[in-house]
Amino acid sequence: MNSPSPTSLLGLDFQELSKIAQEHSQPEYRARQLFHAIYPQRISSIDSISTLPIQFRASLRQRGLEIGEPGIEKKFESVDGTIRYLIRLNDGETVETVWMPEGDGGETGDGSDAAEHDWDRATICVSSQVGCAVNCQFCLTALLGIKRNLSAGEIIGQVTAVLNDRKVDLERQRVNIVFMGMGEPFLNYHNFMKAVRLLVEGVGFPESRMTVSTSGIIPGLERFAEEPVRPKLAISLNAPNDEVRAQVMPINRKWDLEKLMHAARQFPLHNRERITFEYVLLRGVNDAPEHARQVVELVRGIRCKINLIALNPGPGLAFQMPEQQRVEDFQRLLTSAGIPAFVRRPRGRDIYAACGQLKRTLG
């Protein structure tokens, strides 16, 4: 299940690049040039790094090294401006990454390409594994099973490929990253966190503009709590009690709600930071008023907010979308108890790009 051995420079940190420069009898400043070209400049070809001597570039290629940014196999554009990218990795496997623009120009209305900069802000939804092992019953990705972990470079490469495709200038434009695509980031912890550090130190994303979602991998949560640099935390809750959660999220049989909520209460939050609990509403399963009241008691005392997500439908799923009135009633019960609750607007549902719909489809 591990990611392939590295032949790519993307995903290597400065120390690793310095070792490569040293092996090629190059001074250390060449490693700095290499780092700057790969990350802040987002150059995707060794031949295009004009600051490096031609001989050094040729030597890197002879050794079988390349930048290694994954390729965009296909793009699917939604009427709301969302783009689902099918990303092909170097070993032929594929993952999906989603671009979600917001603002006046974010919605084209006709499925055509919006101008690259016709948006106020945007979010990139990034995958961490090929497939997923967690097997949430309301998620199309679960039907794929698990293929392997992504390397740090493959995680970063999704971001840089989309940024380059959309011609984004990070110094002028606001982009957020959510690690909420295919896979469970905390089951690929080392590569996920290495990617986070390089996105911060190299590409130029503040950690405050990143959020990671976990199904509740307790050892990962405990490690994550100790990280000096980390994204904001979202926990996929989806149920008010163990009986319902074990039905829709088998992971609950290993780490139940008592363990999960204890870890959430112990999690050290920065000033003004809140844990986000994500709650996918399933008709007749977890969307009743009594469920909302149980959720209130479950999160009591935790500085949090709750994102409510009406199930995004798809073939092979055994659940149905809730009625809109049930969604509104659920939200009202939470907010009346003093819990910030928001109904997340689905993005890209028509192209299978919405939450829980990613399945490596070609159409």
Q: Which residues are known catalytic residues?
A: 96, 355
Closest to 351 (Cα-Cα) out of 25, 59, 82, 3: 82
Q: How far apart are CA 304 and CA 327, in angstroms?
A: 19
How would you classify the pairing of strands 71-77 and 83-88? antiparallel
Q: How far apart are CA 189 and CA 198, in angstroms?
A: 14
- Helices and strands (H, E) in the chain, number of each type: 10, 12
How would you classify the pairing of strands 146-149 and 129-131? antiparallel
DSSP label at 235?
Answer: E
Residues 6+ apart with CB under 8 A from 156: 10, 11, 195, 198, 199, 203
